[in-house]
Amino acid sequence: MGHKWQALKDHHAGIQDRPILSLFDQPDRAHRFSARAAAMLFDYSKTNIDDTAKRLLIELAEVSGVAEKRAAMFGGAKINDTEGRAVLHTALRAPEGVQVMVDGADVVPAIHATLARMGAFAEDVRQGRFTGQGGAITDVINIGIGGSDLGPAMATLALAPYHDGPRVHYVSNVDGAHVADVVKGLDPTTTLVIVASKTFTTIETMTNAETARKWMAAKVANPAAQFAAVSTAADKTAAFGIDASRVFGFEDWVGGRYSMWGPIGLALMLAVGPDGFEDFLAGGRDMDERFLSEPFEENLPVLLALVGIWHNQICGFTTRAVLPYDQRLSRLPAYLQQLEMESNGKSVAMDGSALPTHSGPVVWGEPGTNGQHAFYQLIHQGTRVVPCEFLVAKRGHEPDLAHQHLLLVSNCLAQSEALMRGRSLAEATAIMAKKGLTGDELDRQARHRVFPGNRPSTTLAYPKLTPFTLGQIIALYEHRVFVEGVILGLNSYDQWGVELGKELALALQPMLEGRQSAASKDGSTRALLDYMTTSAA
């Protein structure tokens, strides 16, 4: 496989200074370097990927075993081999009647039974059959962290136009300010709390759960009666006082950051209803089917992954900006940070050897158009190239504000064009000369207005941000992570990098409480502990 990598690097070395704009001398460039999934369009023509690069990238995916590993994942094989687990978030959205075998048992019937339980509970809450001490539930607080928060919190905001249930709030940070700010103004007698922790031991989540229970106990005689849990630890949820009918579990073959399709999505289901949640699952299912069946040349997850490999491992661009021109997707970059950086932020291959190339990029971003008045300065004129991934809907949900959506779309399309086209010194000089500048000052001012251009971007366009479309988008990025991980030869589904900090935090807590000496710590940590524990201001 090494020769495939080398062929890509050799090809890139010969074209790296070529203007992307020159590729559009071929009139069908935009058509040949884009792909569709139903009404969704993925345009990657504003990159320096040409026919040769595309062919070499597809060959790299083929020799890496993407197709074989894809079949293994969907088939229930334990591809997370450092933990001995299958990787079956896709089964959470599988249709009834499909068989997915794990250790000789079909897991799909149990998945649909759990979905049915979730739907019944959600409808009981939404229709006022399940009540709090003060009557019908008006608010839901979901307490989780990481994958038990980022996905459903992002999706709940994204699908705001479809909310017809109780108001949904999310608490994740162990910083007491988070839970304090969320409960402020809520009525505990009409609030339902969902505690989302597979083991029911996650310290941040359980600390916030205890705080929420104390808050509720001030006005509610039996707070546990207004709690539900997303957990597999039935003994611990029972000890907390939560009735088994309000406990929804999921298996260890669903990783946290891939889990919003099942019980972790309960808060989302409460907001948009079981039908809206099913539409969300259907969108993910649609992308699954396309990922499984379409040739690599037309396969959106594969193409998105190959663009990422080209920019990061071949071109050496170390970051990736995700820029949704869709305010309700404002939490998508944060969600993708976890999805991509926790999955592919590794330094060893599947066999434990050191990776021969860099792994995943730094993923970040904010919605447009706000970002244009902030960090786009660096993207356009900074010294480092930042590949950009734009997302934009053809239509918004506010027909009376169509003129604003038109302005939004025009800004999105203009940014990708500006990144590619740039502005030459000659063009900048002509602009400033029209303003009356001459000589050295003309040259100085013109140089400040030069845009290097030749900066790559992709655009994912879709008709409207519906539950179905959101499901497509999330599944698209999930499979992108999978393909990149296979090509890089790493395990995308473990996350050992989160463990060490947790262990050290547990060791530091008694030192902060004054119950244990900090003598074993390094000088910096001892000094910080001293600052935090002394009474001096």
Return the active site residues: 342, 373, 502
Beta carbons within 8 Å of 337's beta carbon, 6+ residues apart: 363, 364
Measure the CA–CA gap between 439 and 100, rounded to whole angstroms: 73
Residue 417: C-alpha distances to residues 26, 67, 326, 412, 457 (Å): 17, 34, 19, 9, 9
Q: Are the CB atoms for 391 and 325 separated by under 8 Å?
A: yes
Nearest to 397 by CA among 160, 85, 102: 160
Measure the CA–CA gap between 156 and 139, rounded to whole angstroms: 13
Measure the CA–CA gap between 80 and 98, rounded to whole angstroms: 22
Look-up: residue for tokens 């399309």? 413
**Lookup: tokens for 289:** 């089917």
Per-residue burial over 190-211, b if 16 or more Cβ lie within 10 Å, else e, is bbbbbbbbbebebebbbebbeb
Beta-sheet strand order (sheet of 167-171): 167-171, 139-143, 191-196, 227-230, 247-248
| DSSP count for the chain of H helices, then E strands | 20, 15
Q: Are the CB atoms for 237 and 249 separated by under 8 Å?
A: no
**Lookup: tokens for 441:** 């000052």
With helix as H, strand as E and coil as C, how does 320-334 read? EEEEEECHHHCCHHH
Measure the CA–CA gap between 323 and 460, rounded to whole angstroms: 10
